[in-house]
């Protein structure tokens, strides 16, 4: 299979359909779920899909080691190319990594302004054509309204799409009666698309809870495969 077909058949096209064209440039999207069930996999898959389409992505993380994140990308790419039997996989791979940069912030305590400044410096001095920024591990419980507004302004100002993850512990009920993740209640007007990743009869299913100006509750028929950690049609 060639790259074009992989893009066309990606389960993420379904997500775009459901959200009327995706999050969109200048806007924010969030994937919320309990800890450790696959938010990073989803985000990396979304990023890889963009990279496949020739877009530039900056991946922001708050991990202790950068090589873990690189390994995520390598694994997801390997699974996709294996599953779809990608031709010239190495060449496609080399093309993709040219357009991807990982920016890691090694400890808590970096202000949102600082992170945005660093990402801007990267965009100014190299990744000029950045289309999307992935922010994995951002702590919404510590974030103020102003923080989220700053990201929102940055997205509009730089004409980029920003994806976040929002994490919860095993014990708490994390959604309100509308199915909205509770960390986002105060800042929901800044966010265009919200997805949750939920365990439904043993399958990890993506659910759309905010679709631009509408609060919805729509099961996307997209699941996260436990073994390959790829999104696929359920």
Footprint of another protein (CB under 8 A)? 64-66, 69-70, 97-98, 101-107, 110, 118, 121-122, 124-127
Nearer to another protein, 125 or 173 (CB): 125
108, 77 in Cβ contact below 8 A? no
Residues 45, 7: Cα–Cα separation, whole Å? 12
Q: How far is the CB of 32 from another protein (least distance, A)?
A: 26
Q: Which residues contact 154 (CB under 8 A, 6 or more apart)?
A: 116, 119, 120, 160, 162
Are 174 and 182 a contacting pair, CB within 8 Å? yes
Tell me whether residue 14 or residue 55 sits nearer to another protein (CB atom): 55
- Which CB sits closer to another protein, 102 or 180? 102
* Kind and range of the H or E run holding 226: none
Residue closer to another protein, measured from CB, 10 or 127: 127
Q: For the CB of residue 18, give the shortest distance to another protein in the complex, in Å.
A: 33
CB 198 within 8 A of CB 204: yes
Q: How far is the CB of 98 from another protein (least distance, A)?
A: 6
Shortest reach from residue 4's CB to another protein, in Å: 22
**Closer residue to another protein (CB): 129 or 226:** 129
Q: How far is CA 233 from CA 12, 73, 83, 186, 219, in A?
A: 9, 21, 13, 32, 12
Q: Cβ 36 to another protein, closest distance in Å?
A: 19
């Amino acid at each position: 299979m060639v790259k074009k077909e992989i893009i066309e058949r990606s389960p993420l096209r379904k997500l775009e359909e459901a959200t009327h064209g995706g999050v969109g440039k200048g806007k924010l999207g969030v994937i919320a779920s309990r800890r450790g069930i696959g938010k990073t996999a989803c985000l990396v898959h979304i990023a890889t899909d963009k990279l496949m389409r020739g877009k530039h992505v900056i991946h922001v993380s708050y991990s202790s080691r950068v090589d873990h994140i690189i390994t995520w990308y390598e694994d997801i790419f390997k699974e996709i190319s294996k599953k779809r039997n990608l031709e010239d996989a190495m060449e496609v791979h080399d093309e993709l990594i040219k357009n991807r940069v990982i920016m890691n912030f090694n400890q808590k305590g970096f202000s949102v302004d600082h992170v945005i400044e660093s990402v801007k410096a990267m965009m100014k001095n190299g990744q000029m054509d950045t289309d999307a920024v992935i922010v994995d591990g951002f702590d919404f419980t510590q974030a103020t309204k102003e923080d989220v507004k700053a990201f929102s302004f940055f997205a509009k100002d730089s004409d980029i799409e920003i994806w976040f993850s929002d994490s919860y512990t095993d014990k708490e009920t994390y959604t309100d009666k509308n199915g909205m993740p509770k960390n986002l209640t105060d800042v929901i007007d800044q966010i265009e698309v919200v997805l949750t990743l939920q365990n439904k009869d043993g399958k990890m299913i993506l659910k759309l809870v905010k679709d631009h100006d509408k609060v919805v509750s729509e099961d996307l028929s997209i699941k996260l495969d436990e073994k390959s950690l790829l999104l696929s049609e359920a």
